[in-house]
Structure formats: structure tokens, C-alpha cells
Structure 1
Amino acid sequence: MSSPSQVGKLTIFVFTITLLSFVVESQLTQYVQTTLSYSQPYFIFYLVHSCFMLAFPCHLLYLALTTGRPTSTYLKSLKLAVIDHFSPRRSVGSLEAAQFPWYRFAFLIIAVTAAVTVPALLWFIAMTLSSVTDVTAIWNTNAFFAYVLSVKVFGLKWETRKLVVYGGSTAEEAPPSSEAASHPHSPSEPSMPLLGDLLTFIASIGYAGYQVHYKKYAALAEPEDTIDDHYEPLPDPEHPPNASTDDALPPLPYGLYSNMMTFAIGFCTMVLLWIPLPILHWFNVEPFSLPNDLKTTGAILCIIVSGSIFNAGFMILLASLGPIITSVGGLLTIVLVFISDVVLGNTDALTIWTVVGSATIVAAFGVLAYDILYKR
């Protein structure tokens, strides 16, 4: 039996942090927009997605502090990776002489931003209308749609077993707590669960499409889980490489390219997607207002941090593991949201069926973790 690889362990760590961040973001998003009555889904979405820019500079700072190499080294390698992505099969020497494809790269970033914005915005809106448990369960049906689209886009072979596994993972709707039942007009009670569930379902399909097409068109051709810690910086221009070493790109540190793409999505969001804010305010669709107390402000800051961590981790996993494994692993959020609901007082959600369903998902995740650690 082979021992777990360092990259495999790192992938499991990123997976765990990503899932926990999703749960925190989900619970706090509904708490802010219902219990605290700060219903500003587009504004919160804008803040969270604009702050995607935080992951990349933090990663660069970490690399600079732990390796002693200047950030310019990593930026140069990223530049060559992008050029190679649009014009593959070149040597490093020819890549250095090539112009950076600004227009093609900008189009790619705008397309990726649009693709992730629509389902994410629908998710934020659904959180104001339905329960966290329902939204999380329906959202995770993207595992099924990701498989169907992957078969179509990547020309994979249909496997009925996988269709059953990916399509059969559902979460039973938790009955309302006794507190909610005794206060039917409580601000934390879902106001329009059917509409919220429908929006989540549409968002789930859209997010599956985003995952598959990101992997096909935006991610590097070489999976990021094959890029190990033995990073070699590009040679100094005054000391050109030998012909024997001038035939391939140097490997990038794990997750750096994905974090660069996440940064680009955040930048695009910040620059372009503020425009609907005054329009929504003008037509009284979402009248703009800042949070008026520290509790709401602090909760929104936590949403921003957890949302940024989730999306940065998800982008890394999507690039390294692909849309099918990533979306299936995301099913574990159903279990985590269920546990958090119980911890927060919704004990009526604790039934034999939810326990059995959760145990099944955990077991499936255990198989997935074993596959990542020992077989990849």
C-alpha cells in the first residue's frame, strides 16, 4: 500500500476548510438576511465576490515568507502559464518572447465571472426565502448535473452506478423547530420556501455548468495536484537556460494559478458589478442601506471571509480534482449543515433518516478521501 502523498494530504486539508467555510457562510447569510433583517442579497454578494481578490496576495505573501523567493518570480511563471494555456506546446524560451494575450485573457475572466455570478446570486437570494438545509441539499444536486455535463463535454463513458450515486444524494427537509412553530411570523422563518428551492435548483444546474466549463476552458491542462513542492524558479535572464532545460514550463506551487484566477474574478466583480447597485436602489428592488449595528457588520465580515475561503478552496479543488469529484465531495456540506442546525437548536431535525443519510454521505466521503490520499 502506498503512503499518502504530500499533495494528497494538502488536498484533503483544502477540502475540509472549503466545506467548513461553506457551512459558516450559509448559516451566517441566512442569519443576517432573516433574523437580523438585513435583506441585501445583491450587496452581500458583491462584497463577498469582490473580496475574492484577497486569496492571491495572501498566497504570494505566504510563498515569499516560506521560500525566500521574490514574488516577481512567481508572477513571471504565472504569466508564462497563461500564455502557454492559450498557445500550448511552446518551449519556455518561445513563451518568454511571446506577447501576453490580454484580450483573450480578459474575455476569459469576464466569461468566468458571469458564469459564477448568476448561480451565486441566485443562492444568496434563495437564502432569504428558504431554509439552510433545503438550499444546501438542492444546491448539492450539482454533483449529478456536473457528471451529466462532464460526460457530454469531455466525452466520458456513461456509468449507471455513478448516475445513481450522484443523483440519489438528497437531504430530507427538516421539520420546523418548536420555537418557529410557536412564532409563525418569526423573522427567521423561511418566507417563500418553494420559490427559494426553485431558484436554488436553477442555480445548481448553472453552477454545474460553470464547474465543467471552467475545467475545460480556464484551468491549466496539467492538474494542479501533480504540481509538487519542488518548485524551481525561472532562471535569471542574464544566465539563459541550457537547451536541455528549455523545453517545458517550470511547475507552479500548488493552487497558485487557481488563486490568481479567483483574484481576477474578484477584480472583475469589483470593477463591473457595482453598476446594478444604484439601479436596484432607484427602482426600489433592493434599496441600498449599510448595516446599522456592530452585530450585523461583524456577521457580514464573517460571511466575506468564509465566502472568500470557500471559493478560493473550491477553485483549487476544481482545477486539481475536476468537477465530478469536487461536486461529489461537496455533498458532505449537507451533513455539516444538518449538524450545525442541531447545534443551533433545531433538534427536531434529528431523526433516524437524517442520521442514516448523513452516515451514508460520510462513508462515501471516506472513500473519496482514501482515493485522494492513496491513489492520486
Structure 2
Amino acid sequence: MLVTHGSWWILWPIQFTLVANYKAIKRAHLHRKGLPPQNGKPYRGFIKSVTSSIKTQHRNVAHTAELTAGNCHTDYSREFSSRGFHSYVEFFRSFALSHMFKSSFFLSIILNVAGATWYIAMQLSTGADVTAIYNSSAFSAYLFAVPILHEAFSWIKAGSVIVAVAGVGFVAYGGPQDHQETDNYPHRTLGNIIILTGAVLYGFYEVMYKRLCCPPAGNVSARREATFSNFTMCLIGINTTIILSSALFIAYLFGFYSPSFPASFTAWRLVILSVLSNIVFSVSFLGLMSLTSPVFSSVASLVTILLVGASEWLFRGISIGLLQAAGYCLIMAGFCMLTYASWAEISEEDTEDELIDTDSESTAPSSERELASGSNW
């Protein structure tokens, strides 16, 4: 868990480096062709183009963080809503970044406690059970979203919760109980209870992420919202590394646990594959959650229940009973109902908001005169 969740810190450096190099290459190509630059500024060389793009991306993050903090703290919003940051040092010392770091620290605790239940339950129960129950966080997210995010109550969504929870029960306990499976998982019920606790916590994590770490809707462009989710993931990764490394050090210091690296190439390959899979899923998941809602994004992960069940049938020989198949159908029915209800709400609320251009530098001082006057961006 330290390796997977802790690796999130690398997302933001990779993102702004790749984007900066891509834009610098594009500007250099236009310059060689003799075409005018898209932003109207003269081409000043590859290195300066990369530096300028990195500064612009951090200006955008600073502005989005300011809006996010203002959305959570009314006093801050009134006092600093129109203020910009003139340097990296000023941003790092700002209340906006302090809010983001504290919020990501809080979220990392919830996320890692919920994640720990996954690793524990996987030792006690089947992969299909664990995946089915853990993905029911979509429904606990809806229960938390109503009071915390003030989402309107919908009978369609409530009905989908009941249908899908019934499907989870069929998947977990509707399969054939042969002696081999009973011997392999003698503590299956305990594992399912543990992972159910993790599902509730993960739903709470999703809702609090939307509440604390997302800018108010309609204030920034969709591309910047997705970009900012990667910056937030970076902060969660940093906090995760600090928390879990400290826990491992204390455990090692008092002799409770001695960490060791995998000895075989196969084990390393599985670890790397797990890290890459987790990063791809998390980037997509948090990005979608930033653009829509915790309920709408989490229902998409229900598809993994069917995929894991099929994988265990194909590769591990775990059979799928008739009731389990019915449970998969109920889960997918709940998924479709939630998707329809969420999409209908988004369509009704879709207005022509004026969005801030992601590549615009209007959110912070960017004129030649201000840069020459000592701005450190």
C-alpha cells in the first residue's frame, strides 16, 4: 500500500514536465515553419518555452487552489477571492496551499485505512467477494453526498442502491459452497465484514474529496479541473508516504515488523504492474469525480465486479453459480439506473457558464512589465 498509494506524488511532476515539453516542441515547430505562435508571444528558445509553460501551469494550480480554499472557507473567499500569487514562495506559504495540504492529509488517512481493509480482506475472503463489497462504496458515497454535498434525493438513485446491494449479497453468498473453497477461506464472513467497513470509509473519502479538494463548479474549465485533480493526488501521495513510512519505521523500531524487498523478478513485476494499474485507475477516477460527482464516478467502477468474477472463473477455476450470475445482473442494473439518474441531473444543470481558459495567464501577473519588476514565477 505504501508503494501503490505513495507513488501518487510523482503524478504532478510528470504532468507539468510532459506538458511543458510538448508545448515547447510545438512552439519550436511553428517557429521553424515560420508560422506565428498561438499565444502571440515571440519564440525565445526551447528552454525558455519549457520554463514559461511550467510557470503558467503553476499559476493555474495556484488560482484553482485559491478558489477551492475560498469555497470551503467563506472568510478567505471574501478577503482573497481576487488575489493572485506573484511567486512560488508566496504560494507555498499561502492559506490556499495550507488548506490543500491539510485536506489531502485528512483524505490520505481515510483512504489508507479503507485501503488496509482491502489487503486484510483479500487474505480472508475471495477476490470476487472483496471486489463486489468494496465497490458498493458507490452507494455509501450517495448516502454521504446527500447531507454533505447537499445532493437532491432521488427515488431512482435510492432504488438503484437497493437493487445493487441485493446484487452484492448474491455475488458474495450465492455461489456454490464446495469443501475446497470453505477450506481455503474459513474466515470468509469476517473478511466480508472488514471490507464492508472499508467500503463505507471509501464512500466517505470520495464525498470529502469532492467537498474539500475540488473548485466550485463553473469557475474553471473542465481541463483545469482534471489537471488540478492530479495535483491533489500528488499531495495525497506525499502525505501517504509520510504516514505509512512513519508507521513502518515505528513498527521496525519496536520489532513488530521488518520490511523487506521482493527477492524474485516475478514479484517485482507484479508490484510494478500493481503500481501502474493503481495510478491509471486513480487518475481516471479522481479526474471523473472532479468533473462530475462522487456517485456518478464511483458507479463506473462497478464494472470491475463483473471483470473480477470472470477472471477468477477463467484463471483460478472459481465457478459462478446461478445466484451469483443474477447478482452480477442486479449490480449492472443498479449501475445503469444510477448512471441514468446522474446523467439526467447533470443535463438539467448544464448551463453556459463562462469557464476560465486553462492556458490563460490572466489569473496571475504575466505582462512583461510585471515579470521585469521581480516576479519569481
* TM-score, normalisation: structure 2: 0.70
Is the 1:54–1:308 contact (alpha carbons within 8 Å) kept by the matching residues of 2? no
1:312–1:190 distance in 2 versus 1, CA, 3 Å:
farther
> Relative CO higher for 1 or 2, CA cutoff 8 Å, sep ≥ 6?
1
Partner AA of 1:265 in structure 2? I
Q: 42, 54, 61: which one pairs with 2:17?
A: 61
1:159–1:50 distance in 2 versus 1, CA, 3 Å:
same
Deviation for aligned residue 1:110: 1.4
Q: Which residue of 2 aligns with 1:192?
A: 187
More displaced stretch, 335-344 vs 150-159? 150-159
Does residue 1:355 correspond to 2:318, yes or no? no
| Structure of higher CA gyration radius | 2
1:93–1:154 distance in 2 versus 1, CA, 3 Å:
closer
Structure with greater helix percent: 2
Q: 2:123 aligns to what SS in structure 1?
A: coil
Deviation for aligned residue 1:175: 4.1
Task: Please list, as runs of the form range in 1=range in 2, the aligned pairs for 1:321-340 lying within 5 A after superposition.
Answer: 321-340=292-311
Deviation for aligned residue 1:195: 2.1
Cα distance in structure 2, aligned partners of 1:90 and 1:339: 55
Is the 2:160–2:334 contact (alpha carbons within 8 Å) kept by the matching residues of 1? no
Is the 1:84–1:95 contact (alpha carbons within 8 Å) kept by the matching residues of 2? no
1:192–1:201 distance in 2 versus 1, CA, 3 Å:
same
Deviation for aligned residue 1:135: 0.7
Task: Please list, as runs of the form range in 1=range in 2, the aligned pairs for 1:118-157 lying within 5 A after superposition.
Answer: 118-157=113-152
Q: 1:126 aligns to what SS in structure 2?
A: helix
Task: Please list, as runs of the form range in 1=range in 2, the aligned pairs for 1:9-24 lying within 5 A after superposition.
Answer: none
Deviation for aligned residue 1:289: 2.4
Cα distance in structure 2, aligned partners of 1:91 and 1:182: 60
Q: 70, 74, 80: which one pairs with 2:57?
A: 74
Cα distance in structure 1, aligned partners of 2:257 and 2:149: 40
Deviation for aligned residue 1:360: 4.7
Q: Which residue of 1 aligns with 2:312?
A: 341
Deviation for aligned residue 1:228: 4.6
Does residue 1:310 correspond to 2:281, yes or no? yes
RMSD value over aligned CA atoms? 3.2
Partner AA of 1:327 in structure 2? S
Q: 1:110 aligns to what SS in structure 2?
A: helix
Deviation for aligned residue 1:217: 1.6
Is the 1:223–1:319 contact (alpha carbons within 8 Å) kept by the matching residues of 2? no
More displaced stretch, 66-75 vs 195-204? 66-75
Q: 2:85 aligns to what SS in structure 1?
A: helix
Does residue 1:95 correspond to 2:84, yes or no? yes
Deviation for aligned residue 1:282: 5.2
Q: Which residue of 1 aligns with 2:237?
A: 266
Does residue 1:49 correspond to 2:5, yes or no? yes
Deviation for aligned residue 1:346: 2.4
Deviation for aligned residue 1:279: 3.1
Q: Which residue of 2 aligns with 1:215?
A: 210
Partner AA of 2:54 in structure 1? T
Cα distance in structure 1, aligned partners of 2:132 and 2:239: 30
Is the 1:52–1:266 contact (alpha carbons within 8 Å) kept by the matching residues of 2? yes
Cα distance in structure 1, aligned partners of 2:148 and 2:329: 32
Partner AA of 1:279 in structure 2? I
Deviation for aligned residue 1:364: 5.5
1:176–1:58 distance in 2 versus 1, CA, 3 Å:
farther
1:191–1:280 distance in 2 versus 1, CA, 3 Å:
farther
Is the 1:52–1:312 contact (alpha carbons within 8 Å) kept by the matching residues of 2? no
Q: Which runs of 5+ in 1 are unaligned?
A: 1-44, 230-251
Identity of aligned residues (%): 20
Partner AA of 1:354 in structure 2? Q
Q: Which residue of 2 aligns with 1:181?
A: 180
Cα distance in structure 2, aligned partners of 1:176 and 1:354: 9
Is the 2:144–2:207 contact (alpha carbons within 8 Å) kept by the matching residues of 1? yes
1:190–1:281 distance in 2 versus 1, CA, 3 Å:
farther
Cα distance in structure 1, aligned partners of 2:163 and 2:257: 37
Q: 1:128 aligns to what SS in structure 2?
A: helix
Is the 2:175–2:324 contact (alpha carbons within 8 Å) kept by the matching residues of 1? no
Cα distance in structure 2, aligned partners of 1:355 and 1:58: 42
Q: 1:336 aligns to what SS in structure 2?
A: helix
Is the 1:166–1:328 contact (alpha carbons within 8 Å) kept by the matching residues of 2? no
Q: Which residue of 2 aligns with 1:227?
A: 221
Task: Please list, as runs of the form range in 1=range in 2, the aligned pairs for 1:276-291 lying within 5 A after superposition.
Answer: 276-281=247-252, 285-291=256-262
Partner AA of 2:286 in structure 1? M
1:311–1:228 distance in 2 versus 1, CA, 3 Å:
closer
1:158–1:364 distance in 2 versus 1, CA, 3 Å:
closer
